[in-house]
Every structure is written in structure tokens, then in C-alpha cells.
Amino acid sequence: MPATTLADIIFPEQANHNFSKILGDLKRSNLSITNRLRSVRHDAAFVEQVADALRLPLVANERCGSWYIEPGRKAASAYFKSTDGHTGQWKFSTRRLNLQLLELIGRRDGCIIVDSTRRGKRMPDSLSKTIPTWCSVLNCALFPDDPACHALFVPPNAVFDSEKSQMEARLPEFLASFLALDIDIVALRKHLRKPLRPLWITQDDYDPATSGPLDAAVTGSFHPVVCCTSSRRVAGTELSEAGYIQGAGDDTENWALGLTAPIFWEHADELMSTPEVDLPDLIRSLVASSDAKGASASEAKQVAPHIFVGALSGGQTPLSSSSSFFSSPGSCVVAVTSQNTEQSSWLKSPSYLEVGVGKGKVASRLLRQALPQICDFVSQFLERPEVSVVDEAGLPVKKRVVILCESGKDLSVGAALALCCWCFDASGNIIRSDDTARQQQQQSFTKNAIRIKLGHIMTVFPEANPSRATLQSVNSFLMDWRK
């Protein structure tokens, strides 16, 4: 028998390549759509058990949280960003105020906010740091005479004492930024009987089967804001988890093929029973069918005096809609569409402007160039003599400006913010273009003044989701108007 050589022991180069390929194939197969959806459903069952045990309403921290809550169980949505809790970058968002939760928390004596996170982390920063900061700032603002409730509470197994101390040092700054928005604190305070207090639940440390409602003796002095991490922590690789994927509902743009949480829950059984090879075609079909159902117009939401925002329905222009907003002679419509069109073609009638700026970040950037024409168009409409129109009750109909975009939450909100600053004074009165007040106001635009207007919009329309690029376009237009 010949002696063993070094070449017999070390894998040849081709074998190494094959080995890497095999590992890659195994990883991709484990991260399949089927495994992701199965993991979501598994974690959603845990969330439902937690809600049943604690007898508290479920709130989805969008976008990820909605994957783990069946639509019939979702009481509200929230927008707490993990990036606002990243180490050294702590922030109290004046854009994401989430004040709509206060009424629910006060009425139901607490809530459960659901989110998830990627492999290896115990809980997302949104739950461990962003929400605790929010609770502390609101307690300071709403209960200024009760310093005992102003403390910052964070999970000790996720946030070290040194980081907590640094976060606490920023609280006065965060409180000042919130109070600067000039929100009606008295009205907010009426929703709550007690201060807010965050608590934390994960699959690793909580068993719904052996737990019941929170002890009233413990929660008697505060409204519990339960931060529930839906996914089980995976310390190693998913290959050892028999197909389970931590945070499977996250990063959907990388795997979901357009599938959304509502579509998933509506067709969950069909999706779960379809072979992996057939899932892409099924998902595309379901997404296309869901888009087609959007043919009916959604009702616009009032965000300021005279100003409404809404979504374009099924890709149609507002003129083809049956909504009363588009047929009333007391209304004008600005539709920000996803097509790129020449600016000279935007004006369709004295009461209808169709602004084609494209999609995504490009559209947000191009909004800067469109805002002068939008504001001029709306100003001319508002300055016309009042039309003698009455509603069904015989009352005069006030002028209404309806701003629409594809989602009804981004570009339309940005345009509405610009209009609130450009066309109205601090009391909501219309400013004429030839007024000295208009010229004075245009010279006084600051980020803080714009932020205050945005805060009021987000308070009445918490589902609004203007992107950073959209808000940058608004700031650029308003503060660089002389250029």
C-alpha cells in the first residue's frame, strides 16, 4: 500500500470550490420563501398567545411588525425606528411622534408593540431603546410634576449601564425638541391616567401558557407598554434550526417579490401549501390581483385647514374617480403621479394639476422642482372668490385642496407640508400672494418652523410616511426660495 501523501490529505482546489458551492446552496435553500413564511406564522402564534395572556391590544411596529399579527388582531400601527436607538445615535423622532397610541393605551390600560430583528440579536433597538426613550420623553412632558416617572427604563440584558447613562444625558434635549413642536399637551394628557412604562417580552424568557394578565399591583402606577420581540433568538446559523429563520418578516424587499403582510394573511393557507418552485408565480399573481382591487378611491384625509391628502386609486387619475372631492366645485386636485411628464403638460384645468415626477427617491428629489408650480397653482385657487356651494345640510362648503400620490403617505404629505407653510399663516388663515405677510413669512422659514408644521400633520395623520428625501426637498424649496 503506497504511503499517504500531503495531496491525499488536503482537498484539491476544485473540491474546495465545490464545498463552498454546496454550503451556499444549503444556505439559500434554508432561507427559502417557504421557510420564511413558515417562520413568520410560527412567531405570529407566539404573539397571539402573548396577547391572549396579557389581554392587551396588539400594535405593529411597521413595516416588520405587521407580518406577525393577523389583521383582525391588529389594533394600531406604530413607527419606531431601530436607527433612532443605535448606539451613539439615540434620537427622539419629531417626525415619528406616534401620539396616536396614547388614546389606545389609556383606553385599554396598555398595549403590546410587536417587532422583530435579525439573527443573533436578542431584541431590536426599536424595542430596547427607541420606545423607552419615547416613554420617558412623553412622561416628562405629560407629567412634569411627577419626577419619579421621568426615569429611563431599558432592558438590562440588552443595554449596558454606560449606554443607558449616555441616553439619559440626552433626555432634556429630546424633551425640548418635543415641546418646541407646540403640540397640545393638555389634550394629550387627557388620554392617560398614569405615566407610561416599557416592559419586554421575548420567546426566550416568556411562556404565555403559564402566564396571565399583568399583576394589577405592579402596573397600578403606570400604563404598561409591552415591547414584544416576536422571533426566537438564533445564536448560530440557520442551518442548525431546521428551517426556522429569526426575523423572517424583515428585509422583505430582498425576498418577498412584492408580497405584503396583508396579502400574506389573506392567502396564508394557499401560500403555505404551495411548493417552493411554484411560489414566485403564485405571489406575483396575488400581488397583481391585489393591485387591481385598488380601483376604488380611498377617502382623502384632512391634515390642515383646507388641505387633504390621499392615494391615487388603481393607477387612475383623480378625474376618473367618483369621490366627492373630485366633483365639488369648491375643490382643486394636485395629483403627483409615478410617470415622468413634461412640466408644461401638468396643468390640466384651473382646478386640476397632474404632476409627473416618477417613483422612489428620484420622485422625492424632483418634488423640489415641482413645488413652485404646485404652490403657485394652489395659491391662485385659494385666492379666487368663494364659490357659492352648499353641502347636503345646506351649509357653505369651504375650499378644499386635495393632494394625491401613489401611496397617499409620502409625496402628497410633502406637498401638503409645503402648502401649509407657503399659503397659510400660523393660525391657518390664507395668505394672499400680494400680502406683505406672505413676503415676511417666506423670509422666516426655518427648519424648526417647518418641523412644527410637520408635527401637527403627523399628529392628525400618524400613518403618513414622508421619506427623508421628500422632506429635504420641502426644506430646500422653502428655505432657498430666494434662489
Q: What angle do CA 123, 174, 303 make, to 5 degrees?
A: 90
Across the beta sheet with 58-61, the strand order is 74-78, 58-61, 111-115, 223-229, 196-201
Cβ–Cβ < 8 Å for 397, 391? yes
Average pLDDT for residues 437-444, to the nearest whole number? 59
Residue 212 pLDDT: 81
Q: What angle do CA 21, 25, 30 make, to 5 degrees?
A: 150
Answer whether CATH 3.90.190.10 is correct for domain 301-479: yes
Cβ–Cβ < 8 Å for 442, 66? no
Sign, CA torsion 462/464/466/471: negative
* Average confidence score pLDDT of the chain: 85
Residue 391 pLDDT: 54
| SS3 label, residue 357 | strand
The C-alpha atoms of residue 169 and residue 156 are separated, in whole angstroms, by: 18
Contacts of 362 (CB under 8 A, 6+ apart): none
Helix orientation angle between 279-293 and 33-54, rounded to the nearest 10 degrees: 60
DSSP string computed for 107-146: HHT-EEEEE---TT-SS-HIIIIIHHHHHHHHHHHH-TT-
Residue 18 pLDDT: 58
Dump pLDDT digits (tens) for 213-259.
Answer: 888 777 889 999 999 999 998 876 655 566 888 988 887 888 888 89
The region of weakest confidence among 27-41, 76-90, 285-299 is 285-299
Closest CA to 209 of 53, 362, 87, 382: 53
Strand 400-405 with 331-337, pairing: parallel
Residue 23 pLDDT: 44
Average pLDDT for residues 147-163, to the nearest whole number? 94
Contacts of 480 (CB under 8 A, 6+ apart): none
Average pLDDT for residues 163-179, to the nearest whole number? 96
Strand 58-61 with 347-349, pairing: unpaired
Dump pLDDT digits (tens) for 121-153.
Answer: 889 999 999 999 999 999 999 999 999 999 999
Phi, psi (deg, nearest 5) at residue 122: -75, -45
Long-range contacts of 209-217 (CB under 8 A, 24+ apart): 209/49, 211/53, 211/54, 212/53, 213/53, 213/54, 213/55, 214/54, 214/110
pTM of the model: 0.82
Closest CA to 43 of 198, 234, 213, 210: 234
Residue 483 pLDDT: 44
Give residue 261's pLDDT band: very low, low, confident or very high (50, 70, 90). very high
- Range list for CATH 3.90.190.10 in the chain: 301-479
Q: CB count, 10 Å around CB of 245?
A: 25
Residue 256 pLDDT: 86
Residue 341 pLDDT: 92
Dump pLDDT digits (tens) for 338-382.
Answer: 899 999 999 999 899 999 999 888 999 999 999 999 999 999 998
Give residue 322's pLDDT band: very low, low, confident or very high (50, 70, 90). very low
Cβ–Cβ < 8 Å for 465, 364? no
Residue 19 pLDDT: 47
Q: Give the total residue count for the chain.
A: 483
Residue 434 pLDDT: 66
Residue 432 pLDDT: 75
Residue 26 pLDDT: 44
Strand 196-201 with 352-356, pairing: unpaired
- Please report, as a single letter, which amino acid is at residue 162: S
Residue 217, CA atoms < 13 Å, CB-side half-sphere: 0
Average pLDDT for residues 76-104, to the nearest whole number? 93
**Per-residue DSSP letter, 378:** H
Dump pLDDT digits (tens) for 52-64.
Answer: 999 999 999 998 9
